[in-house]
Amino acid sequence: MAKSKDVRAKSKDVRAKGKDVRAKGKNVRAKGKNVRAKAKDVRVIVILECTSCARNDVNKESPRISKYITQKNRHNTPDQLELRKFCRYCHKHTIHGEIKK
């Protein structure tokens, strides 16, 4: 029991001195210096559009095209992204492909 109290006391001392490490992506303070985390320029925002709605020149019932907004990692997926998502205008799961902004 005395051992656990010592560990807690040490952790409180470390926090009191300002040497805390936070979650990834936030400022990290170590030895009195502020260090910024790596920039997030690898991830880009992409728009996914229903390929069956776009190919059929928009459904006859609804004059809209289903779109989703998501992120992708440029290094892991350099080519265009294609996912199966639900199209609310076709009323079924279809392939949604990445479009240019």
pLDDT tens profile 38-88: 666 789 999 999 988 877 665 565 568 889 999 999 999 999 999 999 999
Query: What's the confidence (pLDDT) of residue 68?
Result: 95
Query: What's the confidence (pLDDT) of residue 53?
Result: 83
Domains, the chain, in order of start with CATH, read 2-35 (no CATH), 43-99 (2.20.28.120)
> ∠ CA(37), CA(78), CA(26), 5° rounding?
10
Report how far residue 41's alpha carbon sits from residue 46's, in angstroms, rounded to the nearest whole number.
13
CB 69 within 8 A of CB 38: no
Would you call 3 helix, strand, or coil by DSSP? Answer: helix
Query: What's the confidence (pLDDT) of residue 90?
Result: 87
Q: How confident is the model at residue 18 (pLDDT cuts 50, 70, 90)?
A: low
Query: What's the confidence (pLDDT) of residue 44?
Result: 93
Query: What's the confidence (pLDDT) of residue 35?
Result: 60
Chain Cα centroid distance, residue 78: 16
CB 81 within 8 A of CB 48: yes
Query: What's the confidence (pLDDT) of residue 47?
Result: 95
